[in-house]
Chains A and B, each alone.
Chain A
Amino acid sequence: MADKLHATAPIGAEAISANGLRLALAPLAEAASLGAFAGSGRAELLACVRAEFGVDLPQTPKAVTTADGLVTFLWCGPSQWLALAPAEASGPSGASSGGQGLMARLRASCGAVCALSAQGDSRTALRLSGPGTRAVLSRLVPVDLHPRAFRAGDVALTLAGHIPVIVRHLDDQPEACELLVFRSFAASLFHDLHVAMTGHTS
């Protein structure tokens, strides 16, 4: 396996707590994008993912997690999805697969019907949690985050200030959101979120 090009964490800062909220790097061992091929690729991809992972790929901006909790699929455009594995999958012998478990599973199960690209070095995940998470995010993200419009499992591809992000609402008890951001923007987004948290009073 090739050596990883980056030896440092995407952001230097430790997890931050302010006003009852917590901001931290979220675990993301592997990520891959899936783009269904034209024609019957889309239907075939849905069937292949259902057979291998036991979930239906979402058709609207939502996320779905497998029953074992190992893989989450995010809608990120018509016929496009992101597959995320927060924890590194282990091989049959229990040995670490070196961050290749998800990609190997995807390649074997649906490599023939979609374009697969590893995105682990492209994206970083930040997690914002605690009471008032929606209010803090609303300072940066220009979409409706009210509970009636943005619930657990919902996904929005949008901007946080000037930074493109994929926002995923994780839960309401306790309130928590995950933001997928390009790795090189992670430090900047972390800073912006910290400022938004500090200004928040619940």
Chain B
Amino acid sequence: MRLTCPFCGSRGLEEFTYRGDALVRRPAADTSLQTDAQAWTDYVYLRDNPAGLHSELWYHGVGCRSWLVVTRDTRTHRVDDVRAASAVAAERSGGAA
């Protein structure tokens, strides 16, 4: 499998590290562990395991040391999209990077 880093270009998998599901959201800081334990349980333990498109974080540790959001089909390893995580986060929060 190869990933096309938006900064470095097409690189082999040996340059990257998988860093988990990119869609997981940490509960708000004031979420109570006593009254809303399920929110924390979901965040810490529960993951979807889709057969198909998966949004995931990769770290380009050997190259530019950027965090990337990769959209990959788990059945075929086809990679549809690779974007800088900073750009994705900026878009999500509605602000500039």
Contact = CB atoms under 8 A, between A and B. Distances in A.
B14 A156 contact: no
Contacts of B66: 77-78
Please classify how large the interface on chain A is, using the bins under 10, 10 to 19, 20 to 34, 35 or more. Answer: 10 to 19
Interface residues of B, number: 15
Interface stretch (B4-12, B25-33, B35-43): B4-12
Contact of A142 (B7, B12, B64, B65): B12
A61 B84 contact: no
A157 B84 contact: no
Interface string B55-72: 000000011111000000
Interface in B50-91: 62-66, 84, 86
A80 B64 CA distance: 9
B8 A61 contact: yes
B65 A159 contact: no
Contact of A158 (B63, B65, B84, B86): B63
A143 interface: yes
A77 B7 contact: yes
A77 B68 CA distance: 13
A78 B86 contact: yes
Query: For the complex, would chain A's binding face be called helix, strand, loop or mixed by DSSP majority?
Result: loop
A61 B10 CA distance: 13
B62 A159 contact: yes
A123 to B, nearest CB: 15
A86 interface: no
Contacts of B15: 158-159
Contacts of B10: 144
A157 B12 contact: no
Nearest to A162: B14
Interface of B: 7-12, 14-15, 62-66, 84, 86
Q: Which 8 A-B pairs have the closest CB atoms?
A: A77-B64, A157-B63, A77-B65, A142-B12, A164-B62, A159-B62, A157-B64, A78-B7
21 contacts: A61-B9, A61-B64, A77-B64, A77-B65, A77-B66, A78-B7, A78-B66, A78-B84, A78-B86, A80-B65, A142-B12, A143-B11, A144-B10, A156-B8, A157-B62, A157-B63, A158-B8, A158-B15, A158-B63, A159-B14, A164-B62
